[in-house]
Amino acid sequence: MPQNDLTSVSRAQTASPRPRKVPRVVVLGGGSVGLYAARRLRKKLGRREAAIVVVDPRPYMTYAPFLPEAAAGSIDGRDVVAPHRRALKGVDVLQGKVVSIDHAKRQVTIHPEEGDDYSVTYDHLIVGLGSVSRTLPIPGLAENAIGFKNVEEAIAVRNHVLNRMDVASSTWDEQLRRRMLTFTFVGGGFAGVEAIAEIEDMARYATRNYATIEEKDLRFVMIEGAGRILPELSEPMAGYALEELKKRGIEFHLNTFLSSCVDGHVVTSTGVEFDSDTIVWTAGVKANPVIKEASDLPVDKMGRVTVLPTLQVADADGNVVPNAWAAGDCAAVPDLLNPGKFCPPNAQHAIREATRLADNLALELHSEKPVEYRHKSVGTVASLGLYKGVAELFGVFKLRGVLAWLMHRSYHVLAMPTGNRKIRIFIGWIGQFLMGRELVSLGSLHDPRAEFRAASVPPKKDGEPVKQTAQGSAAAAEAGDSAATAEKVPAKAS
């Protein structure tokens, strides 16, 4: 059990917890909001002023803007995450999934990966549970598609694309080969466009390693329900990005929806049909469903926690819910610079909201008045592959190509938490520049026991003894004993 002041972490059925000497702040979610808020709060408040606990099912924070580069092999997957126990010094970390929030009782229930559920009580709550992929009941989607929301999915997409190229290079069935080399992305927002651009760039670069695959053999398809891509950018800049990607041979089906993808057979609302072994879903996100389904916090029609500009949770009438705060993708944060709108769910706002939230909570603990969150966007940057990008800065500067790509990398590496990760990413970029991309599929990582299962001997029938010998593997190989796969036991001493 974690150290410090976690005196009330207990199973729900146990006796009431002991009184705490200092107030406990429980932070739900260890993403951008949770990590930055906890770090800032620890900096503002000493251990004798507050005990801080972060709850998250993963032991690290994923920096989502770098997922496309991780998928393309430009950044090592381990370098786009910040380990909680290294980044959160002086903060307790509980690894588990939040299954319910009972703010009336100041209690959350946590489901650990192993063991029974338990409850944690608190004095102040910060909700930074983020978002999950927003999917639709499309036939075949759950069985054949993969998301692009976390580092595991990004690396899986990369391994899968390279694996399909490996297999297709030794396949002579033209229909099967076309299916393997067709890569479909659904959703034309930032995540989808950056993902397809980076991975197409990687795959095109990889063709130089295959004698039987040319660039023209690759087919990348984007399906988008709106009439344009990159809604976060102005229309002229989004149009530029669209034309640049079309020049690279990427197909765009705008004003089009995915109707079905059963067994990899893609059918669109406009009647287009084709087979694809790779379907990546990037069509939006929604607030973590536990907030709407298993909490007593006020939410809007989209399932987001309703908050004031001070990031204090409030009901529909604007009444503050005491000791509750929220920010990020799971919160409806009013945008004071654009009345009537909410702050967009991106890393730029999430990090700044987390800092303001922590400062406000510290002010409240010191009996001072919280300050409203307001932030004028510094701009929008997007990568379209290696040395290619598009950017709009401060609403004035519009950059394209290499300069925009440099702005994208510079901004995000500075925003990446911990100096350790900044240095690792920078060194990785230098290595890639000097030695090129590392193009190898490690798809077996996703099922490392597959080969062992295939090599295992079926178990004997009940009651039949298993014959075990102490023969070394070298001796077995020399004797040609292919049956020497049973468990070995130590030989008796001579």
426-441 residue pLDDT tens? 888 888 888 877 777 7
386-423 residue pLDDT tens? 899 999 988 788 999 999 999 999 989 998 888 888 99
Tell me the DSSP string of 281-302.
E-S-EEE-THHHHSB-S-B-TT
CB atoms within 10 A of CB 3: 6
Q: What is the pLDDT confidence band of residue 71, given thresholds at 50, 70 and 90?
A: very high
- Please give the share of the chain, as a percent, with pLDDT higher than 90: 70
Domains of the chain, each with CATH number or no CATH? 24-133+286-366 (3.50.50.60), 145-283 (3.50.50.60)
258-287 residue pLDDT tens? 999 999 999 999 999 999 999 999 998 899
Biggest alpha carbon distance in the chain?
87
pLDDT for res 17? 52
315-343 residue pLDDT tens? 999 999 999 999 999 999 999 998 999 99
155-180 residue pLDDT tens? 999 999 999 999 999 999 999 999 99
- Non-local CB neighbours of 350 within 8 Å, separated by 6+ positions: 31, 32, 33, 36, 327, 328, 329
pLDDT for res 294? 97
* Burial label, 55 (beta-carbon count in 10 A; 0-12, 13-18, 19+): buried
pLDDT > 90? residue 185: yes
Mean pLDDT, rounded, for 358-362? 97
Q: What is the pLDDT confidence band of residue 466, given thresholds at 50, 70 and 90?
A: low
Q: What is the pLDDT confidence band of residue 306, given thresholds at 50, 70 and 90?
A: very high
